[in-house]
């Protein structure tokens, strides 16, 4: 019995993705190293993009005129409580803005009913030259079906 | 709909754990950074220990006389084919030796029917002073039930 | 001819620490992975604490009543330009507040005369129970000698 | 007063590179996480390649017919003693074989007069299609000047 890797899903427009804390994530202070929470929330963003129909590996290797990528331009993180080895944590992501060439998300990390991390992330859609470019139409359409908010 | 984090399981005595490759795992050469495969195989070992009844976080915080930990003493890795962003890979772990104070494992990483990595890992069971100590009886008993080999 | 590891130093109250970008820091997009800039700025904070007379490894292993640690409570990062493999970058840290139990820093990362990252970090001084506690006197005194600002 | 990032150098044909252990390198067991020693030894290999006249970032972005890269094909690591936060460690690298399309190195990590890690690494020189290709002449010539062994 094997299981597919965790990918999470939307519940009422909020993406939930649950993961385990491993040794690699912790530091000698006995808690998760502060930069590693950014790895956790990026996994959730990658899974959300996949649900929106964006296969980043395909896009990255597309012909130059169709090649787009997403780059984080700003990130705010509030560290409320630490996570520890073996914790099961859930990244909950709410899309807060979906504009022409950018997407904003609130991404919180929970352990049961305790919030550990509260973050806001802004990402830009870039073309092959690294310049801002419009989000693909199909992406926006898929997003609007999965997140029923008026963004 | 949320899912529990991937934990894998035993199939005919071989532990299978499937995971996804994320941005954090790759490097500018476009493939998974060579040290990160060691993170993948360690996740599988942690899940195997959990199935053998070892909760590492509990053991690490146990009273000094009961405190044990596992430390890798030797690792051999052959890099056969690289993994890429978004790949779904499976760590297959076979326990090859279970001795008084140590455990040996063969850990290979597969993508579909292609082997990417072949590795051998030796770990020692240590007491609170960092000295080799016998594997807990319950651990050995659980291991013998899950891995039907004559080790 | 060997050299001591880079530790940086203060120039007019601003701490400068120069480092190299290695494969481990980059991702498949060909740039430094966004979470890894937090590793770079943390190295600088650790060196600053050392210059302020704080040996974190000693403090962490001190008797419980003297044990203190520093935990990041908030972090804001603006990603201006990406760093690449082999880049030589400099973390410039300005201490902006030094209060009873907390310290605020502005930490920017430069490559030559281009700013790559602008960040603000707030850290709290915690006792062995994880509760906020006053910064050690010697620490504050050392800090005031090295950073000539009126904080 | 700033310092250039540590790059190490050759002493009697052995490359020495000294570095500091930071929080990012450690785990909740209070020691350096086992995969991170591979990051340390890779930094040394990158600096050695640079001294041999190989600028990996330039080579990676060269026209397709001149593009080469180095990929680790095999790695053996013996973990002798753990490193801790704040340790100053030195990676000592001896080139043991320099063949048509591959290079073998023994890479040990020391803290003062104690060896922590003993490793052997084999790397292949690959062309743009990922096939083994001859090491560049200039590389071999530079190598033979810096490492006076009969390889």
User: Could you give the ipTM of this predicted complex?
Assistant: 0.94
Q: Where are the alpha helices (DSSP H) in chain A?
A: 36-51, 56-60, 137-146
pLDDT at B10 exceeding the cut of 90: yes
Q: Which of B27, C78, C80, B101 is nearest to A130 (CA)?
A: C80
Burial class (CB in 10 A: 0-12, 13-18, 19+), D39: buried
Q: Tokens 């090859």 correspond to what residue?
A: B96
Q: Where are the alpha helices (DSSP H) in chain B?
A: 36-51, 56-60, 137-146
The distance of B1 to chain D (nearest Cα, Å) reads: 32
Which chain D residues are closer than 8 Å to C4 by Cβ?
Answer: 6, 18, 88
Q: Which of D71, D75, D74 is nearest to D128 (CA)?
A: D71
Q: Do C86 and D24 touch (CB under 8 A)?
A: no
Neighbours of D122 (CB within 10 A): 19
Which chain B residues are closer than 8 Å to A8 by Cβ?
Answer: 2-3
Nearest CB to B74 within list D39, D73, D78: D78
pLDDT at D21 exceeding the cut of 90: yes
Alpha-carbon distance of C117 to C108, in angstroms, equals 5
Among A137-146, B97-106, B107-116, the minimum mean pLDDT is found in A137-146
Given a cut of 70, the residues of chain A with pLDDT beneath it are 1-3, 149-151
Task: Give the N- to C-terminal CA distance of chain D in Å, as an integer.
Answer: 41
pLDDT of residue B115: 98
Within 13 Å and on the Cβ side, how many CA atoms surround C52? 23
Which one is catalytic: A12, A25, A27, A55? Answer: A27
Indicate the helix (H) or strand (E) that contains A107.
strand A102-111
pLDDT at B151 exceeding the cut of 60: no
* pLDDT band with cut points at 50, 70 and 90 for residue D2: low
Q: How many CB pairs under 8 A join B and D?
A: 54
Mean pLDDT, chain C, rounded, equals: 91
Clarify whether D87 is annotated catalytic.
no
pLDDT of residue B1: 46
Query: Catalytic site residues of C?
Result: 27
Q: Do D78 and B76 touch (CB under 8 A)?
A: no
Q: Could you report the per-residue pLDDT of D94-148, keeping only the tens digit for each?
A: 999 998 899 999 999 999 999 999 999 999 999 988 899 999 888 888 888 888 7
The distance of C72 to chain A (nearest Cα, Å) reads: 7
Q: Are A35 and A45 contacting, i.e. CB atoms less than 8 angstroms apart?
A: no
Which chain D residues are closer than 8 Å to A83 by Cβ?
Answer: none
Given a cut of 70, the residues of chain C with pLDDT beneath it are 1-3, 149-151
Which one is catalytic: D27, D55, D87, D113? Answer: D27
Q: Which of A26, A37, A23 is nearest to A109 (CA)?
A: A37
pLDDT of residue C1: 45
Q: Could you report the per-residue pLDDT of B17-58, keeping only the tens digit for each?
A: 999 999 999 999 999 999 999 999 999 999 999 998 888 888
Alpha-carbon distance of C112 to C55, in angstroms, equals 31
Q: Could you report the per-residue pLDDT of C45-79, keeping only the tens digit for each?
A: 999 999 988 888 888 888 988 888 899 999 999 99
C78 SS3 class: strand
D67-77 as b/e, with b when 16 or more CB fall inside 10 Å?
bbbbbbbbbbb
pLDDT above 70: percentage of residues in chain C: 96
Q: Which domains does chain B have, with CATH numbers?
A: 9-143 (3.10.129.10)
Neighbours of B136 (CB within 10 A): 16
Q: Tokens 């743009």 correspond to what residue?
A: D128
Distances (CA, A) of B56 to A128, B46, B64, B128, D144: 45, 8, 14, 13, 49
- For the segment D56-83, the average pLDDT, to the nearest whole number, is 91
Among B24-33, D10-19, D83-92, D134-143, the minimum mean pLDDT is found in D134-143
Q: Which chain A residues touch B if contact means CB-CB below 8 Å?
A: 1-9, 11, 16-20, 22-24, 39, 42-43, 46, 55-57, 60, 84-86, 88, 90
Q: Are D36 and A41 contacting, i.e. CB atoms less than 8 angstroms apart?
A: no
């Amino acid at each position: 019995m094997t299981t597919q890797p965790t990918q999470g899903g939307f519940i009422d427009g909020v993406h939930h993705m649950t993961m385990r804390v491993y040794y690699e994530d912790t530091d000698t202070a006995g808690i998760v190293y502060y930069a590693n929470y950014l790895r956790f929330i990026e996994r959730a963003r990658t899974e959300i993009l996949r649900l929106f129909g964006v296969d980043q590996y395909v896009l990255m290797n597309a012909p130059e005129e169709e090649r787009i990528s997403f780059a984080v331009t700003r990130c705010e993180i509030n560290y409320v409580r630490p996570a520890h080895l073996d914790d099961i944590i859930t990244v909950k992501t709410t899309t807060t803005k979906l504009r022409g060439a950018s997407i904003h998300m609130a991404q919180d990390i929970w352990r049961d009913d305790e919030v550990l991390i509260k973050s806001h992330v802004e990402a830009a859609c870039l073309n092959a030259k690294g310049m801002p470019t419009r989000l693909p139409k199909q992406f926006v359409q898929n997003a609007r079906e999965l997140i029923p908010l008026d963004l």
